[in-house]
Amino acid sequence: MFSRTSRLLSSHASKAAKFHTSAPISHGIKRVGVIGSGQMGLGIAMVAANVARLPVVIMDVNKEQIDKGIKFMDKLLEKDVGKSKITSEHAQGTKDLVSTTQTLKDLRDVDIVIEAASENLAIKTALFADLDKECKPDAILATNTSSISITKIAAATSRAHQVIGMHFMNPVPVMKLVEIIPGLATTDNIVQTTKELATSMGKTTTVVQDVPGFVANRLLMPYINEAVLLLENSWASAEDIDTTMKLGMNMPMGPLTLADFIGLDTCLAIMKVIHENTGDTKYRPSVLLQKYVDAGWLGKKSGRGFYSYK
């Protein structure tokens, strides 16, 4: 493991800053593993360390992405120190709680893994089959999938009763909600532990059924897709579509800006899962959305989507 060091964990934990200390909660989780250091994985690792004050190991296959993610987290922490939201000691404590690795073997002693790799069934089932072998038998295996069946992911393991959906919202440090999604076999005590962990991260939870898109994306993605269909048909410009929803409906950002922010590859993957798994043509992804993804125009993260971010 190439490490960001997890030294002095207990002393940093006890120095939790006034603004970000959560009440002690008896979830029993002592160490967290996060897979993926993209925008979601990084955010989840950050709240686990910065708010719940738990040691976190981030695993990603892409070293460049890990370095980029850690740099971004440091920037966010510095910003919070600048705004007096946390002390510099607290920020340093958070940094010391986070370590990184490129191998799953370094997750062998964590109590929960929260997987936030790309929204792709093959990637997730392969990861869960490997996690099942590498992690200790009582470890909870959670996924941050936006839409893929928890039951299907759980079936790749021999511990389906300990597999659960833990769906954070973007950006994780800001958004309050975590959707908790039990799979068909998930036991009540795993649901309870996961809810308590989310609460210790400063989040509010809902528990929803394992249906395509769950609740958040079953509502959000058809809305975004409809905005892309308007654009695809040249019925309005991107700016006018977004302005309509911002000024007309008081949305904090327009649907196309939001899609760029989420990642157009992620939006497309979610629409495909909802479409394929319901068989309902009303969820057919827009051709234009597919074209943008084919072109590598993935939104903010690639520098170009419906808008330019150069």
Ligand X SMILES: NC(=O)c1ccc[n+]([C@@H]2O[C@H](COP(=O)([O-])OP(=O)(O)OC[C@H]3O[C@@H](n4cnc5c(N)ncnc54)[C@H](O)[C@@H]3O)[C@@H](O)[C@H]2O)c1
Torsion of CA 78, 81, 83, 84, to 10 degrees: 180
Q: Return the closest-CA partner of residue 257 out of 180, 181, 170.
A: 170
Quick check: 238 binds ligand X (CB under 6 A)?
no
* Interface residue with ligand X, options 61, 129, 229, 236 (CB under 6 A): 61
Longest C-alpha distance within the chain, in Å? 59
Catalytic site positions: 146, 167, 179, 217
What end-to-end distance do the CA atoms of the chain give, in Å? 34
Question: Could you please report the per-residue DSSP string of 44-93?
Answer: HHHHHHHTS---EEEE-S-HHHHHHHHHHHHHHHHHHHHTTSS-HHHHHH
Q: By CB under 6 A, what part of segment 278-307 binds ligand X?
A: 301
> Parallel, antiparallel, or unpaired: how do β-strands 163-168 and 177-182 relate?
antiparallel
Q: CA of 167: how far to CAs of 138, 143, 205, 206, 232, in Å? A: 21, 7, 9, 10, 30
Asked if residue 118 belongs to a known ligand binding site, the reply is no
Residues contacting residue 293 through CB under 8 Å, at least 6 positions apart:
264, 265, 268
Preceding peptide of 171 cis, ω within 30°: yes
Return the H-helix or E-strand segment holding 181. strand 177-182
* Interface residue with ligand X, options 62, 158, 192, 243 (CB under 6 A): 62
* Interface residue with ligand X, options 9, 31, 37, 306 (CB under 6 A): 37
- DSSP-derived letter for residue 282 is G
Residue 87 phi/psi, 5-degree rounding, is -85, 165
Asked if residue 63 belongs to a known ligand binding site, the reply is no
Helix (H/G/I), strand (E/B), else coil: 308: strand
Asked if residue 124 belongs to a known ligand binding site, the reply is yes
* Interface residue with ligand X, options 266, 271, 299, 305 (CB under 6 A): 266
Interface characters, 74-113, with ligand X (x: CB under 6 A): ----------------------------------------
State which residue, 17 or 210, has the beta carbon closest to ligand X.
210
CB of 130 to ligand X, least distance (A): 9
Residue nearest to ligand X (CB): 38
Q: By CB under 6 A, what part of segment 145-204 binds ligand X?
A: 145-146, 167-168, 170
Quick check: 35 binds ligand X (CB under 6 A)?
yes
Near ligand X by CB under 6 A, which window of 60-68, 70-78, 131-139, 238-246?
Answer: 60-68
Asked if residue 38 belongs to a known ligand binding site, the reply is yes
State which residue, 221 or 230, has the beta carbon closest to ligand X.
221
Instruction: Return residues touching ligand X (CB under 6 A).
Output: 35-41, 59-62, 65, 116-119, 123, 127, 144-146, 167-168, 170, 262-263, 266, 301
Instruction: Cite the annotated binding site by residue number.
Output: 36-41, 60, 119, 124, 146, 170, 301
Instruction: Cite the annotated binding site for NAD(+) by residue number.
Output: 36-41, 60, 119, 124, 146, 170, 301
